């Protein structure tokens, strides 16, 4: 009986310790820190695994289409991002590399094979492969160490903004004081009335990597919007992944 009692206690303690490794404290208070130091810590927090193989739950809404579906997300860091959306059947597949964006929809039998113009149209802002990769990993879409940053503390986040904002748009990066990944990043083009907000409500620690467990993408343009929410269901790193992609025959090409 004593053995069973101690075994149960040990199991509970072990399980508690194991689960705590995956929990990020939300009690860290943002204390005064220089913009340079926050920028350095944010860059140091960059994701350092070679591959990602994740399952996500997604919700898409652009005012015309409102759809919930599952997403298989695979990534070879700095090389390729591969996505497959399913809801009973395959809804779409996409393969994105630094030089190309390939996509097809099984619902309307259409495909796109070109550059980043499709994603730029969807998100309402210029974006390249590394910026998209950073967006999905909770990193700033711009290198916050390349130029001097202003800093304020707002809602318990370190908010970095370049001292010299671009004449085309303004950018804001809210850095979490616990793990120095992002709580939020925003790109605002006031002249064109365009805005992209990406929020990271929570993260998960897996294999010593801090990885977003929720991402909310909100893109607004004059008279239209696109909201995409992702919730992480499972993920593994540094495994062999298959990112093969081919466009089915008979599909009609999308021109942008």
pLDDT tens digit string along 6-24? 333 333 333 333 334 455 6
| Overall average pLDDT of the 55-69 stretch | 94
Q: In a 10 Å sphere around its CB, with 0-12 CB exposed, 13-18 middle and 19+ buried, how is residue 99 labelled?
A: exposed
pLDDT of res. 122: 60
pLDDT of res. 254: 85
pLDDT tens digit string along 155-177? 999 999 999 887 767 899 999 99
pLDDT of res. 5: 32
pLDDT of res. 166: 75
Please count the structural domains in the chain: 1
pLDDT tens digit string along 85-137? 999 899 999 999 999 999 999 989 999 998 877 666 666 567 789 999 999 99
User: Which residues, in sequence order, are bridge partners of residue 2?
Assistant: none
pLDDT of res. 120: 64
Q: Which residues contact 89 (CB under 8 A, 6 or more apart)?
A: 106
| Overall average pLDDT of the 183-206 stretch | 92
Q: For residue 51, what is the domain's CATH number?
A: 2.50.20.10
Confirm whether 88 is domain-assigned: yes
Write b or e for each residue in 211-222: b if 16 or more Cβ atoms lie within 10 A of its Cβ, otherwise e.
bbbbbbbbbbbe
pLDDT of res. 11: 30
pTM score: 0.85
Confirm whether 247 is domain-assigned: no
Q: Which residues contact 6 (CB under 8 A, 6 or more apart)?
A: none
Provide the 3-class DSSP secondary structure of residue 239.
coil
pLDDT of res. 223: 87
Confirm whether 228 is domain-assigned: yes
Confirm whether 242 is domain-assigned: no
Q: Which two tokens stand for residue 224?
A: 């239209």
Q: For residues 233 and 59, give the distance between their C-alpha atoms in angstroms, rounded to a whole number.
A: 14
Confirm whether 249 is domain-assigned: no
Query: How do 182-189 and 194-199 pair as beta strands?
Result: antiparallel
| Overall average pLDDT of the 39-50 stretch | 96
Confirm whether 245 is domain-assigned: no
Residue 235: pLDDT band by 50, 70, 90 thresholds?
A: very high
Kindly tell me if the per-residue pLDDT of 212 is higher than 90.
Answer: yes
Q: Which two tokens stand for residue 48?
A: 């350092």
pLDDT of res. 125: 60
Q: For residues 55 and 233, give the distance between their C-alpha atoms in angstroms, rounded to a whole number.
A: 5
Kindly tell me if the per-residue pLDDT of 3 is higher than 70.
Answer: no
Q: For residues 113 and 95, give the distance between their C-alpha atoms in angstroms, rounded to a whole number.
A: 10
pLDDT of res. 117: 73
Confirm whether 108 is domain-assigned: yes
Kindly tell me if the per-residue pLDDT of 2 is higher than 50.
Answer: no
Confirm whether 200 is domain-assigned: yes
pLDDT of res. 13: 31
For every residue of 16-80, DSSP letters joined together read: HHHHHTTPPPS--------HHHHHHHHHHT----SEEEEEEEEEEE-SS-EEEEEEEEEEETTTE
Domain of residue 123 covers 29-234
pLDDT of res. 249: 95
Report the chain's mean pLDDT, rounded to a whole number: 87
pLDDT of res. 19: 38
């Amino acid at each position: 009986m004593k053995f069973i009692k101690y075994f149960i206690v040990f199991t509970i303690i072990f399980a508690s310790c194991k689960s705590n490794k995956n929990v990020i404290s939300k009690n860290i208070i943002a204390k005064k820190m220089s913009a340079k130091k926050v920028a350095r810590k944010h860059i140091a927090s960059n994701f350092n695994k070679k591959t990602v193989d994740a399952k996500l739950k997604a919700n898409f809404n652009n005012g015309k289409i409102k759809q919930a579906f599952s997403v298989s997300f695979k990534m070879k860091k700095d090389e390729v991002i591969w996505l497959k959306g399913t809801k009973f059947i395959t809804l779409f597949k996409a393969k994105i590399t630094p030089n190309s964006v390939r996509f097809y929809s099984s619902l309307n039998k259409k495909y796109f094979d070109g550059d980043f113009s499709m994603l730029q149209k969807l998100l309402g802002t210029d974006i390249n492969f590394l910026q998209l990769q950073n967006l999905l990993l909770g990193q700033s879409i711009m290198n916050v160490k390349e130029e001097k940053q202003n800093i304020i503390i707002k809602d318990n986040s370190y908010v970095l903004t370049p001292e010299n904002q671009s004449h085309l748009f303004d950018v804001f990066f809210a850095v979490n004081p616990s793990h120095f990944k992002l709580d939020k990043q925003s790109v605002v083009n006031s002249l064109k009335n365009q805005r992209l907000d990406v929020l990271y409500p929570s993260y998960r620690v897996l294999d010593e990597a801090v990885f977003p467990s929720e991402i909310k993408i909100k893109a607004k343009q004059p008279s239209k919007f696109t909201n995409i929410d992702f919730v992480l269901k499972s993920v593994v790193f540094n495994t062999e992944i298959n990112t093969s992609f081919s466009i089915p025959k008979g599909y009609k090409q999308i021109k942008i």
